[in-house]
Structure 1
Amino acid sequence: MDKAANLLMRERPSTLTNSFGKDHEYCPDCKDRGIIIIDNNTARICHCQEQKRLERLFKSSQITPAFRAKTFENFVTDNRPPIIKAMFECARDYAQRFTEIQKQENNWLVFLGEPGAGKTHLSMAVANWLLARGIPTLYFQHVEGLGELKDLLRKQGEEGIAAKLEQMKKVELLIWDDLFWGKEQPREFELEITFEVLNYRYLNLKPTIISSNRTPQQLLKIDNGTIGSRIVERGKGHMVVVQDHEANYRLMGE
């Protein structure tokens, strides 16, 4: 047996933390060695290593524990308008066929329009579904995320945000939540960051989930349509626009 295997054979106390932050005992099958010895010449990787990998994916996704609880199973469609059911089906189809869709040009999932319709919930449901299947994912909330980038820029200069932008550009699946939130015209910093990241993903056919309270027409009026046109184009086939106030469950008192 080689030196690496011998090192892994040494027992060491350990506690694993699952994706929801709950501690549990180390793996009883391999006693947290990471491998299971079959005989003197062979060994195999223990199943717990895959679990650890998934836990790291959930942690790096920057999806909060509350959002990790958002699933297709707990999304309510009963007594909701048909457009909400259509949005649900669109999200589920995207998740289930992701390995096929990600190879296509129009591989973005886009939910636009009325707030309170469940756009974020379904975006998280897709993300959690794919994370559980080993797809690297990153969540970016527009207002909070840009605020963090501004702080980094102020404290560390452009080098401070370079690593974050690189991660956003190249992660296998990026979720950009509440894009251009608010009624006012996006400021220059917003536009520069948004275009830099989304244009890279547009050019390199990187799967992306966009949710926004803006409609397609409103997005196309921003920055001469340089960002909106890319979103609309890549979202063909998996884009739902909610424009009915009745779709807003917050206004319904639910």
Structure 2
Amino acid sequence: MSLTNAQYNSIMKDYEQTRDRNRHLTEQRRLEVYTKLPEYGRLDESVGELSVAQAKLLLNGDDEALTRLRLSLKDISRRKKELLVSAGYPVDYLEPVYTCPDCKDTGYIEGDNGLRKKCHCFHQQELDILYEQSHIRDMIASENFSNLSYEYYQGEDLAHFRKCVDVCHNFVQNFKQDYHNLFFYGTVGTGKSFLSGCIASELLQSGHSVIYFSASGLFDTLARYTFDARAKEALSGFYEDIYNCDLLIIDDLGTEMTNTFVASQLFSCLNERHLRQKATIISTNLSLEELRDRYSDRVFSRITSHYDLCKLTGPDIRMCKKRMQNASDN
């Protein structure tokens, strides 16, 4: 995933604040132990004094000074641990505190090649940002491949759905190396949004940036950016987000109030993402004929030329589930 500079700086600032909090916690613990166990503090002080004394002996030619220092430090460490345990503290109570011990709250660890790489905790923060940007955190909690079911489809409807599921799996598996777009269309409630959510869930989990908009929400936001000077500043990064995210999902195309502005903005969005080779998924209840009639010929041409068309048919699954629920309640 590609973070903006502001997002990266925000994550690194969080790490800095975490280190400060943990250093403060460690220092509080040390003061607590020194107050309760004065002997522990004296042992800590003796480490420095002993080290200086033995260093002088070593410089004066005493070859055994280093060995004696190591034995003395080992004995002091043992006595300090005994004091902690006897007072009811964990043996590691005064060890440095890290929220992530792997990277020591820096966000980076050493890779196999000796170079720094992002720690798993850094990647998790990236994923959290992706989820927030995507607008689909709640949706993918239920709409994912593990919840996929074929039980509501029969005959030709089932064949259509199976084919679309295969297309979705291939889309995810080849996402890194192949540029593809998907266009889900067909009757109401047949799983178009569900399959979009399945794909989004998989790609978000693998660290890709996914942004979801209902068609009405997308065009409302575009209108605010275009016509509202105050909103323009707040949405300054909006165009780059929708143009540069790895996957843009436009759900329920056709439910918005369609006009020349919408048709123009839709084409600009689709065209720009195509030029940048960024994948887009569109779902709609419109037929291909209705799509051509409602939007410009160039929108229709862009979609039919550069999108895999996935037709879904069958009963309205939401209504089927509702009837089943009512039956079970009775």
TM-score, normalised to structure 1's length? 0.75
Distance in 2 separating the partners of 1:52 and 1:163? 20
Looking at CA atoms only, which structure, 1 or 2, has the larger radius of gyration?
2
Q: Percent identity?
A: 26
Which residue matches 1:124?
Answer: 197
Q: 1:193–1:162: structure 2 CA closer, same or farther, 3 Å change rule?
A: farther
Higher relative contact order (CA 8 A, sep 6+): 1
Query: Which one of 128, 150, 163 corresponds to residue 237 of structure 2?
Result: 163
Q: Greater strand percent: which structure? A: 1
Which residue matches 2:303?
Answer: 231
2:263 paired with 1:191: yes
CA root-mean-square deviation: 3.2
2:221 paired with 1:148: yes
SS in 1 for 2:286: coil
AA aligned opposite 2:317: Y
Query: Which one of 311, 316, 319 corresponds to residue 248 of structure 1?
Result: 316
Question: Structure 1 stretch 196-205 or stretch 41-50: which is displaced more?
Answer: 41-50
Question: Structure 1 stretch 140-149 or stretch 224-233: which is displaced more?
Answer: 140-149
2:284 paired with 1:216: no
Distance in 2 separating the partners of 1:98 and 1:118? 21
| 1:79 Cα offset (Å) | 4.1
Which residue matches 2:149?
Answer: 76
Distance in 2 separating the partners of 1:30 and 1:68? 30
Q: Greater helix percent: which structure? A: 2
AA aligned opposite 2:306: R
Which residue matches 1:89?
Answer: 166
Structure 1 stretches of 4+ moved >6 Å = 7-10, 41-44
**Gaps in structure 2 of 5+ consecutive residues:** 1-11, 23-97, 325-330
Query: Which one of 12, 31, 34 corresponds to residue 20 of structure 2?
Result: 12
Check whether the contact 2:189–2:316 (CA below 8 A) recurs between aligned residues.
yes
| 1:196 Cα offset (Å) | 1.3
Deviations 1:116-142 (A, max 9, x none): 111111101101111111112211211
AA aligned opposite 1:174: L
The number of residues matched between the two structures is 227
Q: 1:29–1:224: structure 2 CA closer, same or farther, 3 Å change rule?
A: closer
Check whether the contact 1:8–1:35 (CA below 8 A) recurs between aligned residues.
no
Deviations 1:168-191 (A, max 9, x none): 122221111111226x7x212211
Check whether the contact 2:131–2:137 (CA below 8 A) recurs between aligned residues.
no
Distance in 1 separating the partners of 2:176 and 2:150? 26
Q: 1:206–1:152: structure 2 CA closer, same or farther, 3 Å change rule?
A: closer
Query: Which one of 173, 176, 182 corresponds to residue 247 of structure 2?
Result: 173
2:184 paired with 1:111: yes
Deviations 1:149-183 (A, max 9, x none): 3344443279456632332122221111111226x
TM-score, normalised to structure 2's length? 0.60
Check whether the contact 1:84–1:247 (CA below 8 A) recurs between aligned residues.
no
**Gaps in structure 1 of 5+ consecutive residues:** 15-24
SS in 1 for 2:144: coil
SS in 2 for 1:227: helix
Check whether the contact 1:136–1:172 (CA below 8 A) recurs between aligned residues.
yes
